[in-house]
Amino acid sequence: MSATFDVSNNINATKWLHDRDLESDQYCILRRIITKEGKSKAYINNRPCALADLKTIGSYLIDIHGQHEHQSLLKKSAQRVQVDAFGGLNSLSHKVKSQYQDWKKMRDELNARLTRSTDQESRIQLLTYQVQELEVLNLKGGELKALEEEQKFLATIADAQQKVYQTNLLLAEEEDSNIRSLLNHALLTASSIQTRTPHLQSACDLMNEAIIQIEEACNSLSHYQDTLEQDPARLNEVEQRLSDIYDTARKHKTTPEELVLLQETLTADLNDIIGSNENLDVLKEKEEKAYQALTEMATELTEQRMKAKEILATKVEEQIHGLGMPYAQFQIHCHPLDEVTANGFEEIEYMIASNPGQPAQPLRKVASGGELSRISLGIQVVTASTSTIPTLIFDEVDVGISGGIAEVVGRMLRSVGTKGQVFCVTHLAQVAAQGHQHLLVQKQVEQDHTSSQVTTLHKKDRTVEIARLLGGLELTQQTLAHAREMLGNVHLQ
């Protein structure tokens, strides 16, 4: 099964398709395949979709008015949309909805921030304490490594002094047995050899250089020894500083090397929270302005709705009086809400009192199937020029009426059909005769299988079927003449 709709002038359907990337030129093709096993597949513009999506887009394209359908006429939301469309309030209604969404977003953010601000007090106190503690410590980048090296140096001065002293003794200061005096003695002995050879000369030169290097080493050790001055006070100061750093790191469950970065992070977190609290006042002001704009816009919408609903109710009541409900009173109530919503300050509801002396009650509660179809027809006739749904289906709208009222119904349907596509299922000739086109629906049973056949009727066939509705299966010249007269009168109207 498939159906093709022209949606070039259907804003709601076009937007729905666009939002889901399903648009295709000016047409919308709906298709559903049901297999013998009972499985089904749905398509929108030849793209697979969920059955729920097919139903949703269908609600923008077809409105069914019948005795046993869940009709949009009974939904308060549809009634509100109908009143707004009739009053030319769609633009204002959309602005209210958009403004409401903007305000609600600000309000939700504000409430979340207010909730967070209560929890943040303890967080601010903790961060403030931690930052102050790190600021008092005042650890600088690279300081830890320098302190550790200094502490190691100060702690090993005594040992270094002892070892430098011992080294100097071995090199030059020990009487008779130091390395320098032994080398001097060796050089003197070698130099006294009478037979001179290159090898001997080389050995003497090397010993002489060694003596010079030992003297230089002794000088370097002396200079180093001059720097080895023990400073217990400084050592204690360095060790205390390191102890403070290590203790603070353990307290914050981090390493000493990460303390500087931790201080920067905690400071940034504290500044962010304090800054967000300062921005809270700005957000409050924006939320108040947004709410004021929303209420002003919603108030204007209420005022316009009050005017539109009175005019609509009066016109609909006039229509249904001509549809066999002469005493019916049709009203449109605007029930005030406790607070503004995306749809304004009120809830729209259609009310009907079918008989004199009865209080008006919601349409969904009191209208019978036939009454509901006729009331719906009356509403559609009035609102046809503003309806956004291009295809209307009226199923058995002629139930409970006959004669002149049936002809009125037919004329109404024809009037609505000049502004959109109308399908009407009827068994009354007075209604059927008003149609621009006629389709004959027949059931056929073949080998225990039932099917429906739809045939397009042309001029002669139309006359025959209208006559059949008038006179039954046996056609007479009188019924055929009456049928031709009815069809002819339609063209003269």
Q: Which two tokens stand for residue 441?
A: 């629906």
Task: Judge whether 363 and 37 are in contact, CB under 8 Å.
Answer: no
Q: What angle do CA 336, 342, 344 make, to 5 degrees?
A: 30
Alpha carbon distance 479, 299 (integer Å): 59
Residue 363, number of CB atoms within 10 A of its CB: 23
- Rounded to a whole number of angstroms, the CA Rg of the chain reads 50
Q: How far apart are CA 18 and CA 306, in angstroms?
A: 33
Per-residue pLDDT of the chain (493 residues; tens, 9 = 90+): 788 988 887 878 888 888 888 887 888 999 999 887 878 899 999 899 998 888 888 888 887 765 544 356 778 888 898 899 889 898 899 999 999 999 999 898 888 777 766 666 777 788 888 888 888 888 888 888 888 887 887 777 777 777 877 887 888 776 667 888 888 888 888 888 887 788 888 988 898 898 889 888 888 888 877 777 767 788 788 888 888 888 888 988 888 888 889 888 888 888 777 766 656 778 888 899 999 999 999 999 999 999 999 999 999 999 888 887 888 899 999 999 999 999 999 999 999 988 888 888 888 776 566 677 778 778 877 876 566 678 888 777 666 666 777 888 888 888 888 877 888 888 888 888 889 899 988 888 887 788 888 899 988 889 888 888 887 667 888 888 888 888 888 865 5
Q: How many CA atoms within 13 Å lie on the side-chain side of 489?
A: 15
Distance CA(242)–CA(330), nearest Å, equals: 90
Identify the DSSP state of 140: P
172 secondary structure, DSSP code: I
pTM recorded for the entire structure? 0.55
